[in-house]
Amino acid sequence: MGVYGAAYERSITDPTRFWGLAARDVRWLVPPDRVLDDGAPPFYRWFTGGELNTCDNALDRHVAEGRGAQPALIYDSPVTGTARTYTYRELTNLTARFAGALLALGVRTGDRVVLYMPMIPEAVVAMLACARIGAVHSVVFGGFAARELALRIDDARPKAVVSASCGIEGSRVVPYKPLLDEALRLASHPVRHCVIKQRDALRAPLACPRDVDWDEAVAAAEPADCVPVAATDPLYILYTSGTTGRPKGVVRDNGGHAVALRWSMENVYGARPGDVFWAASDVGWVVGHSYIVYGPLLTGCTTVLYEGKPVGTPDAGAFWRVAAEHRVNVLLAAPTAIRAIRREDPSGRLATGHDLSALEALFLAGERLDPETYRWAAGTLGRPVVDHWWQTETGWPIVANPRGLEELPVKPGSPSVPVPGFAVRVLGPDGDPVPPGVDGDVVLRLPLPPGTLPTLWQDDERFVESYLTRHPGHYLTGDGGHVDADGYVWIMGRTDDVINVAGHRLSTGSMEEALSGHPAVAECAVIGVGDPVKGQVPRGFVVLKAGADADPAALAGELVALVRARIGPVAALREVAVVPALPKTRSGKILRGAMRGIADGEDVPVPSTIEDPAVLDALRPVLRRD
18-29 pLDDT per residue, tens: 999 999 999 999
Share of the chain above pLDDT 90, in %: 76
- pLDDT for the residue 533: 62
d(CA 163, CA 177): 8
d(CA 122, CA 143): 16
Burial of 244 (0-12, 13-18, 19+ CB in 10 A): exposed
State which fold the 2-344+357-408+421-481 domain adopts: Rossmann fold (3.40.50)
Where is mean pLDDT largest: 454-458, 529-533, 621-625? 454-458
8 A C-beta contact, residue 295 and residue 265: yes
Task: List all residues 6 or more positions away from 573 whose beta carbon is below 8 Å from its beta carbon.
Answer: 511, 526, 537, 538, 539, 540, 560, 563, 564
Q: What is the DSSP letter of 625?
A: T
8 A C-beta contact, residue 91 and residue 69: no
Least confident window among 398-402, 430-434, 531-535: 531-535
d(CA 404, CA 402): 6
d(CA 399, CA 369): 13
Burial of 142 (0-12, 13-18, 19+ CB in 10 A): buried
d(CA 170, CA 119): 12
**Ramachandran category for residue 289: left, alpha or beta (phi over 0 → left; psi -120 to 50 → alpha):** alpha
Would you place residue 137 in the very low, low, confident or very high pLDDT band (cuts 50, 70, 90)?
Answer: very high
Say what the pTM is.
0.86
Mean of pLDDT values over 160-173: 94
Radius of gyration of the chain (CA): 24
**What string of DSSP letters covers 393-409?**
TT-S-SEE--TTT--PP
Where is mean pLDDT largest: 131-135, 338-342, 524-528, 568-572? 131-135
d(CA 586, CA 326): 25
Task: List all residues 6 or more positions away from 492 whose beta carbon is below 8 Å from its beta carbon.
Answer: 368, 439, 479, 480, 481, 482, 498, 507, 509, 510
On average, the pLDDT of the chain sits at: 93
Closest Cα partner for 373 from 403, 341, 397? 341
- Paired strand residues for 230: 51
Would you place residue 152 in the very low, low, confident or very high pLDDT band (cuts 50, 70, 90)?
Answer: very high
Least confident window among 423-427, 485-489, 510-514: 510-514
How far from 462 is each of 5, 15, 529, CA to CA, in Å?
35, 27, 30
CB atoms within 10 A of CB 171: 8
Question: In the 3-class helix/strand/coil scheme, how is 349-374 assigned residue by residue?
Answer: HHHHCCCCCCCCEEEECCCCCCHHHH
State which fold the 496-624 domain adopts: GMP Synthetase; Chain A, domain 3 (3.30.300)
Q: What is the DSSP letter of 23?
A: G
CB atoms within 10 A of CB 253: 26
Burial of 379 (0-12, 13-18, 19+ CB in 10 A): exposed
SS3 514: helix
Q: What is the DSSP letter of 81?
A: T
Residue 299 half-sphere exposure, CB side, CA atoms within 13 Å? 28
- pLDDT for the residue 311: 94
Task: List all residues 6 or more positions away from 456 whose beta carbon is below 8 Å from its beta carbon.
Answer: 248, 249, 250, 251, 462, 463, 466
Closest Cα partner for 372 from 415, 401, 337, 412? 412
Is residue 242 over pLDDT 60? no
Pairing of strands 193-197, 160-164: parallel
End-to-end CA distance of the chain: 58
Every domain of the chain with CATH number 3.30.300.30 lies at 496-624
Q: At what angle do helices 508-516 and 552-567 cross, to 10 degrees?
A: 120
- pLDDT for the residue 568: 65
Every domain of the chain with CATH number 3.40.50.12780 lies at 2-344+357-408+421-481
- pLDDT for the residue 539: 92
For residues 283, 289, 290, 292, the Cα torsion angle rounded to the nearest 10 degrees is: 40
Would you place residue 505 in the very low, low, confident or very high pLDDT band (cuts 50, 70, 90)?
Answer: low
Least confident window among 10-24, 351-365, 416-430, 579-593: 579-593
Helix ranges (DSSP H) in 210-346 = 214-220, 255-267, 286-288, 295-299, 318-325, 335-344
Q: What is the DSSP letter of 230?
A: E
Closest Cα partner for 302 from 21, 82, 90? 90
Is residue 509 over pLDDT 80? no
Would you place residue 569 in the very low, low, confident or very high pLDDT band (cuts 50, 70, 90)?
Answer: low
Task: List all residues 6 or more positions away from 144 whose beta carbon is below 8 Å from its beta carbon.
Answer: 116, 179, 284, 608, 609
Would you place residue 245 in the very low, low, confident or very high pLDDT band (cuts 50, 70, 90)?
Answer: low
Residue 197's φ and ψ, nearest 5 degrees, are -85, 115
Closest Cα partner for 212 from 98, 298, 95? 98
- Paired strand residues for 541: 525, 577
Question: In the 3-class helix/strand/coil scheme, how is 546-583 assigned residue by residue?
Answer: CCCCCCHHHHHHHHHHHHHHHHCHHHCCCEEEECCCCC
Would you place residue 244 in the very low, low, confident or very high pLDDT band (cuts 50, 70, 90)?
Answer: very low
- pLDDT for the residue 243: 46
